[in-house]
């Protein structure tokens, strides 16, 4: 075989190899567009969930995602779209109602134990240095996802109002946002935002009791309402 024929054969071989390689690359990054209907998730929540599967920095074929209330559209590879579909199937589910048990606890030099807060008191003594604790008021609130709460609670010497917002961040985590407690007569007030798990009890905030040496502690316990948890 002459040198000319060898050169032509090699040129053809490299050209075909390049074509096969190029075609393979095109197929591996071929993008499709799919729109997913959202039944329970907010569009911003869905965007955060699927973001790891949208490769916006892919050279030559970047992925994209856009959302509107009730739907999210994604431009990605078929494999990644299937992954996104599985993620949304797992997380786009009805969120159970939340039951919140608020207790207003007065901390001072009390010597007698209050059986109504026995479980909470054991935890308080690990954190605070007060001599004793007693229940000053309590109330129960049932809320849905993305809802506002507003409830009055009668204290020992004042009428309090609890307000806030409830959001399920993901399965197993609830966000209590802008939770506030205000005394109608005393003006005692506190406000905070926390994440809480079903079955968990948290001390939200503390505030001095007006006209007293005592300190008021606001605690909350969260339960999924459909679990029948013992509050």
pLDDT at 227: 47
124-133 pLDDT, tens per residue?
888 888 888 9
Spell out the domains of the chain, with CATH numbers in brackets: 3-91 (3.30.1370.120), 98-227 (2.40.128)
Whether 228 shows a pLDDT value over 80: the answer reads: no
DSSP run (H or E) holding 65: strand 64-68
Instruction: Round the average pLDDT of the chain to a whole number and report it.
Output: 84
3-state secondary structure of 60: coil
The residue with tokens 């935890």 is 123
Separation of alpha carbons 54 and 32, rounded Å: 12
* pLDDT confidence tier of residue 230, bands split at 50, 70 and 90: very low
* pLDDT confidence tier of residue 206, bands split at 50, 70 and 90: confident
Average confidence (pLDDT) over 185-190: 77
Average confidence (pLDDT) over 192-202: 94
Separation of alpha carbons 172 and 152, rounded Å: 27
Q: Is the dihedral of CA 32, 37, 40, 44 positive or negative?
A: positive
pLDDT at 222: 95
pLDDT at 79: 95
The residue with tokens 């207790």 is 103
Percent of the residues in the chain that have a pLDDT greater than 90, as a whole number: 50
41-67 pLDDT, tens per residue?
888 889 999 999 999 999 999 999 999
**Plot region of 182 (φ>0 → left; ψ -120 to 50 → alpha; else → beta):** beta
Question: What is the reported pTM?
Answer: 0.66
- In the chain, the N- to C-terminal Cα span, in Å, equals 91
* pLDDT confidence tier of residue 14, bands split at 50, 70 and 90: very low
Separation of alpha carbons 228 and 56, rounded Å: 44
Whether 23 shows a pLDDT value over 50: the answer reads: no
pLDDT at 229: 43
């Amino acid at each position: 075989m002459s040198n000319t024929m060898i050169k032509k054969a090699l040129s053809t071989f490299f050209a075909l190899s390049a074509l096969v390689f190029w075609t393979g690359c095109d197929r591996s990054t071929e993008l499709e567009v799919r729109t997913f209907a959202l039944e329970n998730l907010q569009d911003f929540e869905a965007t955060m969930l699927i973001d790891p599967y949208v490769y916006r920095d892919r050279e030559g074929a970047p992925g994209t995602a856009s959302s509107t209330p009730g739907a999210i559209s994604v431009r990605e590879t078929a494999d990644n779209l299937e992954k996104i579909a599985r993620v949304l199937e797992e997380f786009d589910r009805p969120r159970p109602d939340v039951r919140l048990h608020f207790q207003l606890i007065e901390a001072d030099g009390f010597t007698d134990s209050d059986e109504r807060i026995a479980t909470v008191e054991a935890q308080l003594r690990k954190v605070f240095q007060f001599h004793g604790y007693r229940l000053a008021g309590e109330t129960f609130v049932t809320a849905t996802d993305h809802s506002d709460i507003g409830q009055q609670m009668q204290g020992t010497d004042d009428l309090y109002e609890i307000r806030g917002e409830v959001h399920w961040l993901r399965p197993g985590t609830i966000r209590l946002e802008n939770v506030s407690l205000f005394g109608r007569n005393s003006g005692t007030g506190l406000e905070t935002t926390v994440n809480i798990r079903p079955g968990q009890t948290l001390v939200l905030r503390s505030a001095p009791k007006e006209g007293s040496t005592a300190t008021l502690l606001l605690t909350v316990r969260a339960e999924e309402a459909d679990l029948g948890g013992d509050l």
